[in-house]
Structure 1
């Protein structure tokens, strides 16, 4: 339930705070006063996408703070806890959202910073907001299937429905079945696309195979090895410098072991040093530490000498080998231009070529297997679509009966409403789409003797409002949303029908919190909490003000709604009588009996 909402610098609102109660909360005021702006702010607080231009002119950011009571809503509490948001024992969730004119906004849930997606995860299902634009959605047949599936999924779940195919997929039965239909349809599309590719021109496939075989053979002849190019380049560097390397090794060996031009070698010098250290150690044993180091150095010198002697023998000019390596580099460079920048890339390309050769070579066998898979999956698609139609027809019958009862309560006792579920004339898997194969349309007959026809062809604005209200009431019974929000759902209604709408909203408000923007005095008279919205001029700025009305304030506001701008003694008397009648009707409703009020 929505406890309160505080709004600052949002559109025409500079600063307002509304404290809602259980039951029917009504917002009234002149057209353009800002009633719907409050609902826009509520939608933003629950995660609705909000453009930066909602920030009041001259301000840098708008702030919305809403308090929800999640008591008795374990799904909402669980969603918050899953995001690491603590919910106290009182069950309150404080939503703080800032919308910045420039830059990023900020969202806090009970003081913890969250993203917009996280806010929507928690706010989803907390309130059902119904605006005037939704009337138009009833004129679009593609929306009818969505509404039926939404209703059918909730209805079957609430009834513990056990159709075998529905049980098999678990969760929300009808919607889970529809998801499976979408999965099968997507798989069928993929298989059919692959099958179509195999059915291409045979000559083109043969030409492609010739090219692939040539490329594979060329790469195989090259006998590529990972890292080969680096090895060849390193060997070429050695061959190019063979003479210089051999001379350096010769000189280094002489300096270490043979000596040059009358100079002693490093090995001889180390021997002399060892003799001196031995003489020192005979007098001072501490000098023995140096002997260990010198002996180790002597060993390393001998090993280095042997390496250099071997190296000078191994390094030699080899023009033939050098030429062969240069040719290999040229071969690798030519292959790089065609198959990849590195040997590793060329080897990967070779594997891709081999795989494509195998696939094209086995095209006929693969085509036969695909035909079998498509046939099996097609049979499953037909079964699923048929089961989905069955579930939809069951839901459609229930929805048709319920809408008819609801619109009868709303002043159309002879109206007929039917949800038509039409499968295709040819029930083949080729007719199955991602939502099954049904065409769904709402049909309506407002008067006796008139045939059922599509809504778009016969429904007036007032009739549309009543049908949408009936649908919302029905969906509310099965979806468990604690707060229903109606933005001028009574558009185009008057007289006894307006009274029927007021009574319907009052009935809903017995078990749900209802927020309603209205121009009907009959609806306002039923309110448990009544807010008046005013647009005022403060200096050179226009601002929206909100006042929670006491009893006398309600009389004045409803009198204004009855008589327009001029409030007279007669309109005041009418307002008081309307409030008294509403109170008596609600009292009888609380006792479960409104028959004694018929004709009032």
Structure 2
């Protein structure tokens, strides 16, 4: 849920902060007061495309910030946050966006800088904006399968995940097959290159971890004098008269002489005796290691030469000897495939056939599930359309399967299975079913979108649904039906609605009035939350568009009472 929205120096807005609550919040005001500007700010906050035109004249930057509270239905947001190292505390998320006058866009999520693409990932799960123009997305058949799947996503998820895994495997096998079947000259050139690389690496006779061992040896040889002198100094400090071991022995003997008279001394005498023998053993180890060392300048040159050779190979094939050997194994496998291409092509063909069949079976399962969902969705959409006085409109979901002409298969698989889904309607009895864009008017599309949104709101998991004048061009009983439908959606998700219809405004749980004022010879937008009297006056203005009269006030009062009565029943 959007809890608070702050906007600074954005278009004609100098600075406003708006608090929101659950349910239906309606924003009204005169044309040009800044209602759509607030929606524009929310679009940018959700990752929309920005422009320097949004920066208020005379300022350096425009800034938008939204505070959202999350609930248990937003587990996906927590997963995405974990993926990008973003901390969510107290079930709250803050989206922030700054657009500078120089055209830069700076995005943050919970204070952490993110790219616009990452901001968009969060935004599309928090804010769902609909306007008159955005109903056009209903006309795109590519969106219809997504909408159908959204209707019961949980039911489809296991099958979709399994299909996606198989489809990815199939695509990978098909790509490999195409590579191996490519131009003979290209394959020959590729084989020559790989064989040259293979010979170069093999001639080096690399040993796993060789570079690490050589670097350690080089360090020892290059610092031989310092190492040897350090060992010698340590040994001399421990061995001989008036040295460390002699003093330890003296101390040990002193305690041994008194151990029979005191349990503490006996205990410490034994500890010191053990330490003495450990130090003595350590001293001999140091001496023996020092005796084993010898400086060999020729060996240092050999090590340097070998490391230079390895460094040359690292620049081509990997950052370590182990990486180079891993690369060698990879190209040897590819060389073997290229030299025995026909055998590998036959194997790939068999793997492709088997994987295609497995993927097809999962796609068929998806198809059967979608057919059942389509029947249920169609029934519910007809009920919703009837509520919106489109009872004579007939809605249908068409399924199409296309052949795979490239591979010769009867059915072409794609990312979503083999279904091509399209929403069709017949606006009047007796008329044939046609594509939405060939039949639906702007008002019909708006009502169709509301019907779909009513059904999808609870499945979509979006925090805030925003309607920007989707009720334009309707009146009378249709306007009342739209108002009731928007209210119904607000029972499932928080709804913010910009409207010019008094029927919709009367249904609001919270009514905010947006007005323009002059401040310091500049135009500024202000937002006020209306009380019951304010609501009545604003509804009166929306009804008449002119000065208020007692008649319009009575009409507004009646509309509010009827809306309140409807909400109590629903």
Q: Deviations over 1:142-190 (max 9, x none)?
A: 221222233342xxx1xxx4xxxx6xxxxx3354255235414422431
SS in 2 for 1:125: helix
Residue equivalent to 1:135? 135
C-alpha distance in 1 between matches for 2:359 and 2:522: 62
* Distance verdict in 2 for CA 1:209–1:580, change over 3 Å: closer
1:190 aligns with 2:175: yes
CA drift at 1:431: 1.6
SS in 2 for 1:431: coil
Residue equivalent to 1:512? 493
* Distance verdict in 2 for CA 1:376–1:128, change over 3 Å: same
The question of whether the paired residues in 2 share the 8 Å contact of 1:182 and 1:435 is answered with no
Residue equivalent to 1:388? 366
2:87 to 85, 88, 92: 85
* Distance verdict in 2 for CA 1:41–1:348, change over 3 Å: closer
With 176-185 and 440-449 compared, the bigger mean Cα shift is at 176-185
The question of whether the paired residues in 2 share the 8 Å contact of 1:3 and 1:69 is answered with yes
2:340 to 362, 384, 390: 362
C-alpha distance in 1 between matches for 2:494 and 2:135: 22
* Distance verdict in 2 for CA 1:391–1:39, change over 3 Å: same
Residue equivalent to 2:108? 107
SS in 2 for 1:490: coil
Residue equivalent to 1:243? none
The question of whether the paired residues in 2 share the 8 Å contact of 1:501 and 1:523 is answered with yes
CA drift at 1:133: 2.6
1:556 aligns with 2:556: no
Q: Deviations over 1:405-450 (max 9, x none)?
A: 1111111123221111222368936622233222211011233333
The question of whether the paired residues in 2 share the 8 Å contact of 1:534 and 1:546 is answered with yes
C-alpha distance in 2 between matches for 1:423 and 1:32: 49
Alignment of 1:301-450 (within 5 A): 358-424=336-402, 428=409, 431-450=412-431
Q: Deviations over 1:453-508 (max 9, x none)?
A: 21111111111000011111111122333422111121232111110011112222
1:501 aligns with 2:503: no
The question of whether the paired residues in 1 share the 8 Å contact of 2:9 and 2:63 is answered with yes
C-alpha distance in 2 between matches for 1:543 and 1:213: 68
The question of whether the paired residues in 2 share the 8 Å contact of 1:149 and 1:174 is answered with no
The question of whether the paired residues in 1 share the 8 Å contact of 2:394 and 2:426 is answered with yes
Residue equivalent to 1:279? none
Q: Deviations over 1:113-146 (max 9, x none)?
A: 3424665565553332223332111112122122
Residue equivalent to 1:238? none
1:453 to 418, 434, 456: 434
The question of whether the paired residues in 2 share the 8 Å contact of 1:185 and 1:434 is answered with no
SS in 1 for 2:22: coil
Q: Which has the larger radius of gyration?
A: 1
Residue equivalent to 1:251? none
The question of whether the paired residues in 1 share the 8 Å contact of 2:43 and 2:129 is answered with yes
When the two chains are superposed, the root-mean-square deviation of aligned CA atoms in Å is: 4.1
* Distance verdict in 2 for CA 1:5–1:449, change over 3 Å: same
Residue equivalent to 2:460? 479
Residue equivalent to 1:575? 556
C-alpha distance in 2 between matches for 1:37 and 1:421: 40
SS in 1 for 2:139: coil
C-alpha distance in 2 between matches for 1:18 and 1:81: 26
Alignment of 1:125-204 (within 5 A): 125-153=125-153, 157=154, 161=155, 172-173=157-158, 175-177=160-162, 179-180=164-165, 182-197=167-182
C-alpha distance in 2 between matches for 1:95 and 1:356: 48
SS in 1 for 2:125: coil
C-alpha distance in 1 between matches for 2:197 and 2:544: 90
Alignment of 1:463-478 (within 5 A): 463-478=444-459
* Distance verdict in 2 for CA 1:497–1:37, change over 3 Å: same
The question of whether the paired residues in 2 share the 8 Å contact of 1:23 and 1:514 is answered with yes
SS in 1 for 2:362: helix
CA drift at 1:582: 1.3
CA drift at 1:550: 1.9
Q: Deviations over 1:190-236 (max 9, x none)?
A: 14413532xx56xx69987998999899x79xx96689xxxxxxxxx
SS in 2 for 1:149: helix
Q: Any unmatched runs of 5+ in structure 2?
A: 207-295, 297-315
* Distance verdict in 2 for CA 1:181–1:559, change over 3 Å: farther
Residue equivalent to 1:327? none
C-alpha distance in 1 between matches for 2:191 and 2:461: 65
Residue equivalent to 1:232? none
Q: Deviations over 1:87-114 (max 9, x none)?
A: 24xx5545454333345636362xx434
C-alpha distance in 1 between matches for 2:72 and 2:334: 60
C-alpha distance in 2 between matches for 1:527 and 1:207: 72
With 479-488 and 97-106 compared, the bigger mean Cα shift is at 97-106
SS in 2 for 1:448: coil
- How many residues of Structure 1 are paired with residues of Structure 2 in the alignment? 455
The question of whether the paired residues in 2 share the 8 Å contact of 1:421 and 1:441 is answered with yes
C-alpha distance in 1 between matches for 2:445 and 2:432: 17
The question of whether the paired residues in 1 share the 8 Å contact of 2:46 and 2:119 is answered with yes
* Distance verdict in 2 for CA 1:529–1:483, change over 3 Å: same
C-alpha distance in 2 between matches for 1:73 and 1:351: 47
SS in 2 for 1:138: helix
C-alpha distance in 1 between matches for 2:505 and 2:63: 29
SS in 1 for 2:181: helix
* Distance verdict in 2 for CA 1:353–1:537, change over 3 Å: closer
* Distance verdict in 2 for CA 1:551–1:452, change over 3 Å: same
The question of whether the paired residues in 2 share the 8 Å contact of 1:77 and 1:87 is answered with no
Q: Please, what TM-score do these two structures have when normalized by structure 1?
A: 0.66
Residue equivalent to 1:39? 39
* Distance verdict in 2 for CA 1:468–1:174, change over 3 Å: farther
SS in 2 for 1:105: strand
Q: Any unmatched runs of 5+ in structure 1?
A: 167-171, 228-306, 308-338, 590-600
CA drift at 1:78: 4.0
